[in-house]
């Protein structure tokens, strides 16, 4: 176990900000992950796990510890009755996994096309988009317990998935390293088309009975129109995608916000538990933060008010300052406290 030292972390993140790691190690397999954690434990060195860097804000001061990247690779398909079990190692590029599954006509991940990052991150925040989320198809997750340095497998129920959340994110954020994810997908199943925007776009194309490939292509186009693809040539490309989650509130609170906004067309999405999910981007714009807003070297995407974008000279403190300004403005206007979607290292 020979970690590199003083490695700048900004190039490993989609925001492109943040300082250096005191130690940095790429682990190609589970044994190397265990060795790295043991090395850090023996020396009293703190550890942060970094995947594709698409959902993290690294502080300007960097991290005075070991940054560990689990580069485990591998994708395996196994018949399981009428379904197919897809075993994905943590270091696989997520969109490549989705593309491979769609090519094999396996239903369950098609709406999650175009999302940057690695497969190992998907169960952590229960990645979702366009009406689909990984919790619907995850069967189990392989992890390494940092407390015991033992590998174990957690059934989906033990992961305690919720909206953009899981046990890994909010309950035990420092306990597990995800090594691999097992999905259960339907062979030849019809695509999931539950999201209104996706439904409208397919109708505009005249696609009455879309295939999995049709839905994948449509989702990529829609994400591209919002600069929600990781594209180095896009002026909005340096971002984490959505910087805030959509708030879920009581029906009474939703009605009060609609009254405050004086807009009966306020987007609202009833939830099974009787609460209502609101559109964070809509709240941000109605609170006075327009698309394309600039605050020095950072701003909002010109195409999507949910995305904070870095420009030349941006720092992590600039990003977090703008995020806090937006949160304060939305709270003052509507009484809603937005929750950050990316993980902010401290």
186 is a catalytic site residue: no
The tokens 């485990």 sit on which residue?
A: 72
Helices 316-334 and 251-261, axial angle in degrees (round to 10): 90
Closest CA to 119 of 167, 168, 183, 29: 183
Closest CA to 237 of 226, 249, 246, 247: 226
242 is a catalytic site residue: yes
Per DSSP, the residues of 229-256 read S--TTSTT-SB-S-SBPPPEE-HHHHHH
Which of 69, 164, 167, 216 is flagged as catalytic? 164
d(CA 233, CA 242): 19
**Quick one: the chain helix, strand, coil %, rounded to 5?**
30, 30, 40
Max intra-chain CA distance, the chain? 62
Answer for the pair 151, 89: CB distance below 8 angstroms, yes or no.
no
164 is a catalytic site residue: yes
C-alpha to C-alpha distances, 1 to 9, 24, 27, 39, 231, nearest whole angstrom: 20, 11, 9, 7, 34
Cβ neighbors of 341 (< 8 A, separation 6 or more) are 55, 125, 164, 240, 241, 242, 243, 244, 245
Which of 227, 242, 301, 315 is flagged as catalytic? 242
d(CA 315, CA 158): 37
Closest CA to 87 of 183, 163, 2: 183
Q: How far apart are the first and last CA of the chain?
A: 25
Which of 136, 258, 285, 341 is flagged as catalytic? 341
Question: Other CB atoms closer than 10 Å to residue 329's CB: what's the count?
Answer: 17
Q: Which residues are catalytic?
A: 164, 242, 341
């Amino acid at each position: 176990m020979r970690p590199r030292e003083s490695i700048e972390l900004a190039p490993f993140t989609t925001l492109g900000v943040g300082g250096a790691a005191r130690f940095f190690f790429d682990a190609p397999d589970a044994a190397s992950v265990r060795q790295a954690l043991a090395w850090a434990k023996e020396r009293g060195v703190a550890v942060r796990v970094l995947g594709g860097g698409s959902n993290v804000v690294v502080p300007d001061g960097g991290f005075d510890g070991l940054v560990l990247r689990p580069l485990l690779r591998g994708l395996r398909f196994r018949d399981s009755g009428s379904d197919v079990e897809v075993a994905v190692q943590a270091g696989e590029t997520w969109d490549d996994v989705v593309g491979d599954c769609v090519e094999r006509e396996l239903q369950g991940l098609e709406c999650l096309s175009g999302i940057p990052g690695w497969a190992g991150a998907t169960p952590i925040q229960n990645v979702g988009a366009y009406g689909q989320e990984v919790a619907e198809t995850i069967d189990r997750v392989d992890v390494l317990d940092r407390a015991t340095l033992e590998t174990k497998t957690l059934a989906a129920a033990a992961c305690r998935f919720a909206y953009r959340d899981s046990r890994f994110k909010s309950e035990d954020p420092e306990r597990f390293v995800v090594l691999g994810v097992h999905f259960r997908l339907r062979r030849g199943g019809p695509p999931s088309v539950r999201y209104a925007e996706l439904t409208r776009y397919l109708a505009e194309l005249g696609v009455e009975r879309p295939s999995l490939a049709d839905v994948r292509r449509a989702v990529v186009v829609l994400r591209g129109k919002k600069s929600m693809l990781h594209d180095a040539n896009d002026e909005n490309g340096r971002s984490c995608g959505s910087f805030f989650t959509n708030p879920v509130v009581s029906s009474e609170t939703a009605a009060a916000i609609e009254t405050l906004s004086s807009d009966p067309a306020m987007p609202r999405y009833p939830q099974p538990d009787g609460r209502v999910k609101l559109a964070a981007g809509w709240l941000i714009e109605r609170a006075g933060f327009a698309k394309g807003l600039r605050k020095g070297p950072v701003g909002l995407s010109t195409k999507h008010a949910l995305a904070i974008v870095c420009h030349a000279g941006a720092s992590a403190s600039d990003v977090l300052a703008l995020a806090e300004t937006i949160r304060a403005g939305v709270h003052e206007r509507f009484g809603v406290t937005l929750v950050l979607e990316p993980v902010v290292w401290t």
